[in-house]
Structure 1
Amino acid sequence: MKEISNYVKRTQRDYTLSFKLNVVREVESGELTSTQAQRKYGIQGDSTIRNWLKKYGNFDWENQIPSSMAKSPEQRILELEAKIKLLEKQKAQLERQNYIADSKAIIFDMMIDIAEQEYKIDVRKNFKPAQSIVSDKKNKKA
C-alpha cells in the first residue's frame, strides 16, 4: 500500500512579509535559533531563514558585525583603509585598461595609414556632411 505524504513544496511567495519579519525578529532576539524556527513554523528550505536574515535583519553580513553595534574609531579607520586599497587597485586596473585601449586605437590608426599607402585606397571616407532636405528646399526656392 502506498503512503500518502502531506509534504507540500513551498516557495518564497507562500510566506507573507509580516511572517518573515516575525521569524527574523525571533531569531535575532535569541528566542529561537534558525533551526528551531524552521521546525516551529514548518519552513522547508535550510537557507530560507538565513536569506530572510540577510534581507530583513539588522546584521551586517558583509562585515560580520551587527549594524546596531557602534564601531570603534579604530574599526572604522581599518574599514576605510581597506576601501581605499580596493579603490586604488580598481583605479590601477582601469588605468591599465585605458592604456591598452589607447594603444590599440593608435595601432589600428597606423594599420589604416599603412593600408591606404600600400593599396592606394581611402579607407577613411571623408564625405562632406549631406545637407538636410529642408535646407535643400530652401536653396531651390531662393
Structure 2
Amino acid sequence: MSFKLSVVQEYETSQISKEALKRKYGIQGDSTIRRWIDKYGNFDISNKSDKPMEKSKDQELLELRQKVKLLERKNARLEKELEQKDMKAEFFDMMIDIAEKEYHIDIRKNSFPEQSSDTER
C-alpha cells in the first residue's frame, strides 16, 4: 500500500509520465498506475487534459479586475515613494542653502570648470 501511495504521490507532484513511472519501478500492467491514481490520487485523472481549459468571460473579468487592483496598489505605492523622494531632495536643497549661508562657501557648482591647457596637448 505504501508503495502504491508513493508512486501516486510522485506522479501528482512531479512531471513524470505514467509510462516513465512504469519503467522506473518495473510495474507490469498498462493500466495499473492509472487505477492507483483513480483510487488513491488527490485529483480526478479522468478529466485531466494536456490542453488548458478555456476561461469563461466571468473568470476573465474577475482576473482583470484583480490585476487592476494590484496595479492600482502598486501605482499608489510608487507615487508615495516618489513623493518621499521629492521631499528628501527639497530637504537636502534647503540644507545645502543653509550650509552655504552659514559657512560662506559655494557647495553647488554653477558652471563647469575651465579646462586646463594641458589637455590640448
**What is the TM-score with the length of structure 1 in the denominator?**
0.48
* CA shift digits 1:61-96 (9 cap, x unpaired): xxxxx8610000000000000000000000000000
Residues 1:105 and 2:89 are matched in the alignment: yes
Distance 1:104 1:67 in 2: 53
* 1:24 aligned residue: 15
Matching residue within 86, 108, 112 for 2:70: 86
Aligned residue-pair number: 84
Q: As a proportion of its length, which structure holds more helix?
A: 2
| Amino acid paired to 2:87 | S
Q: Does 1:69 align with 2:53?
A: yes
SS of equivalent to 1:85: helix
2:24 match? 41
- Structure 2: distance between partners of 1:118 and 1:67: 73
Residues 132, 80 of structure 1: CA spacing in aligned structure 2 closer, same or farther, 3 A cutoff? farther
- SS of the counterpart of 1:69? coil
The ranges of structure 1 where at least 4 consecutive aligned residues each deviate by more than 6 angstroms after the TM superposition are: none
Gaps of 5+ in 1: 1-22, 43-65, 138-142
Partner of 1:61: none
Structure 1 residue identity aligned to 2:24: Y
Note closer, same or farther for the CA distance 1:71–1:100 as it changes in structure 2 (3 Å cut): same
SS of the residue corresponding to residue 24 of structure 1 reads: coil
Q: In the superposition, relative to structure 1, how do residues 132 and 84 fare at CA in structure 2: closer, same or farther (>3 Å)?
A: farther
Identity between Structure 1 and Structure 2 (%) = 45
* Residue 126 (structure 1) shift: 2.5
Structure 1: distance between partners of 2:65 and 2:115: 57
